[in-house]
């Protein structure tokens, strides 16, 4: 769709070549957008809205600008504002947004003091509440959906040893990877309050108490925990179950090269296909061990490392 100057003659027209692309695997595909004019095209700025559609996935739209002659017209397409985001430090959490793609703005009331030493933050899929984990326990904050400001709610549940927390995509469970060597699922309501005793807390043992980070897949079927020099442990997850955490996969992925390495960080791609593990000793050079990423495919409840 093209937005043209008022009463434009022979306005800019657009075409894509190719008109569609087929994406297979992880290889990027390119289509070229061409904007065409005529000698009689009215000078000025033309905003071109480009929309990408793939199957049942949500459409994604962006706007680009074409100026006919360099000396006339002003594009109205500008960088959009970001959503609110929150940064956790040792004893506080602060909220920010980005305006117009350039200006960092502090959310009203930031920063907010955290009880104890903070370790992790998790934001609900609905974006209307978040939790902060610290040595003082797990604290609930509601988010003002208009301003992003935080209001402290219930606090202190959890064991005070949470190293990493996540909220599952259904918004029904708060997950904690604890330095006590356990993976815990707390039932929560749509407002973030612990849903107990209506539903029970589930606790599963981890292979080690050295917890660095936890990740849950976007479709909510896989939890992975980075356990330092023990490696990476994975669990199946079913949000609709009364005990959503399944038994750990039989295989624990020990650090690359055996002893000496440490699994530090995790990420799962938006299509639920790949698990990335950041390790200290992955891909050693001839002289020093350098950190890097290992990549595992996720398929039918199993993980397999790419060569």
Residue 34 has pLDDT above 80, yes or no: yes
Domain tally for the chain? Answer: 2
Whether residues 165 and 63 share a domain: the answer is no
Share of the chain above pLDDT 70, in %: 87
Is 55 contained in some domain? yes
Judge whether residue 80 has pLDDT over 90: no
**Given a cut of 90, is residue 14 above it in pLDDT?**
no
- For residue 78, what pLDDT is reported? 59
> 92-99 and 112-113: which strand pairing?
antiparallel
| Domain coverage including residue 189 | 161-305
Residues belonging to the chain: 307
The mean pLDDT value for 152-169 works out to 91
Partner residues linked to 165 by β-bridges: 176
Report the alpha-carbon angle 126-130-133, nearest 5: 150
DSSP track, 11-65: --EEEEESS-----TT-----EEEEE--TTPPPEEEEEEEEE--TTSPPEEEEEE
Per the domain annotation, does 227 fall within a domain? yes
In a domain, 270, yes or no: yes
């Amino acid at each position: 769709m093209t937005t043209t100057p008022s009463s434009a003659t022979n306005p800019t027209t657009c075409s894509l070549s190719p008109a569609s692309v087929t994406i297979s695997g992880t290889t990027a595909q390119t289509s070229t957008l061409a904007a065409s004019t005529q000698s009689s095209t009215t000078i000025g700025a033309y905003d071109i809205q480009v929309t990408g559609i793939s199957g049942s996935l949500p459409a994604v739209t962006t706007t680009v600008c074409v100026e006919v002659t360099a000396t006339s017209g002003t594009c109205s397409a500008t960088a959009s504002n970001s959503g609110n985001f929150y940064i956790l430090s040792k004893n506080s959490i602060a909220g920010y947004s980005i305006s117009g793609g350039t200006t960092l703005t502090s959310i009203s009331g930031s920063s907010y003091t955290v009880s104890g030493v903070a370790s992790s933050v998790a934001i609900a899929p609905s974006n209307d509440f978040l939790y902060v984990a610290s040595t003082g326990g797990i604290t609930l904050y509601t988010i003002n959906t208009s301003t992003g400001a935080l209001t402290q709610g219930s606090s202190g549940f959890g064991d005070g040893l949470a190293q990493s927390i996540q909220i599952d995509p259904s918004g029904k469970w708060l997950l904690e990877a604890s330095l006590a060597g356990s993976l815990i699922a707390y039932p929560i309501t749509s407002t973030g309050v612990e849903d107990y005793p209506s539903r029970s807390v589930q606790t599963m043992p981890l292979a080690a108490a050295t917890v660095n980070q936890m990740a849950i897949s976007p479709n909510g079927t896989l939890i992975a925990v980075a356990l330092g020099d023990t490696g990476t442990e994975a669990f199946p997850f079913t949000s609709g179950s009364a005990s959503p955490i399944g038994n750990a996969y039989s295989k624990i992925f020990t650090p690359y090269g055996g002893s000496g390495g440490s699994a530090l960080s995790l990420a799962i791609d938006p299509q639920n296909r790949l698990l990335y593990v950041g390790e200290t000793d992955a891909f050693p050079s001839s002289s020093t061990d350098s950190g890097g990423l290992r990549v595992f495919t996720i398929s039918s409840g199993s993980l397999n490392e790419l060569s």
